[in-house]
Amino acid sequence: MIKQDLFEKTIIITGGNSGIGLEAAKMLVKRGARVVLAVRNEQKGKQAKKTILAENSDALVDVMKLDLSDLKSVKDFSEQFLARFENLHILINNAGVMVPPYQLTKDGFELQFGCNHLGHFALTGYLLPMLEKTPNSRVVTVSSIAHRGASIFFDNLDGAKGYKAMAFYKQSKLANLLFAQELDERLKERRISTISVACHPGISTTNLFKFGKRDAPPFLLKIAKLFLQSAEMGALPTVYAATNENLKGGEYIGPDGKGNRKGNPTIEVPAPEVYNKETMKKLWDVSEKLTGGNFHFGG
């Protein structure tokens, strides 16, 4: 069941100004949570806050700047959050970019791997001490069915040896899923009460046909709406992963329909070969090296 009472709970949602992140924020504030919209564009974040308040005037919403493609911004956001807040009950790693033209982040990472995975990896590391001291906290990382059939290109993470936008998007979403699982295992090994859960929205009409700054033709969007689900439905797995009290950590939540493309949230079981221990550890080690090694469990 989805927990109804989130009063005095503080939740961060990266990319909470639009799409699934915004819909999840709306649902969570209705349950009494204080939601921090961590967004790259503060103007869009403020507009999202107005949208939330228009539906719920009592909502507790903060807007803070976070650019996941810039590790300095990730560090600055984390320091500002830790200075302003005393607890962090739920961190939702939701933001992402999908199939953009080849480009690098400020730190020299391929944009999708850098923003979708490494930015969230660093953010979680910085915020881990507060998560640990907040009883029964959790980290929710949003993956995608695009992880299916994906690989981690350890010998070409920056795309310098060749770049295919969709292949690198799939890589970033596989990285999200492997990170969520590895994080949960490491938390359990250290008997830390924080849990890590992964989820995915199925395929929603919010982002499937959004390529960089280009929108799909209107007729394609009309067709998509016949077969895909709305942003509200797409947000349900995120809310389920964030609030279901029966979850123990390590679960993967997605829609229960055919191919997990749409439907109501349920616990999904990835293919057995997805959680490759060697790949998970290697990804963690590489991620620590690239982001500066800011994970310090138990303190």
Q: Cite the active site residues.
A: 169
Tokens of residue 194, six digits: 């924080």
Among 63, 73, 81, which Cα is nearest to 127's?
81
In order of 120, 127, 183, 292, 297, the CA distances from 190 in angstroms are: 21, 17, 11, 22, 8
Rounded to whole angstroms, how far apart are CA atoms 238 and 219?
Answer: 29
Q: DSSP 3-state assignment of 197?
A: strand
CA 176 to chain centre: 8
- For residues 112 and 64, the answer to whether their CB atoms sit within 8 Å is no
Rounded to whole angstroms, how far apart are CA atoms 40 and 67?
Answer: 5
Residues in the chain: 299
Residue 94 neighbours by CB distance under 10 Å: 25
Rounded to whole angstroms, how far apart are CA atoms 3 and 6?
Answer: 7
Contacts of 14 (CB under 8 A, 6+ apart): 21, 38, 39, 66, 68, 92, 93, 94, 95, 120, 123
Question: Residue 222: phi, psi to the nearest 5?
Answer: -65, -45
Per-residue burial over 258-284, b = 16 or more CB atoms within 10 Å of its CB, e = otherwise = eebbbbebebbebeeebbeeebbeebb
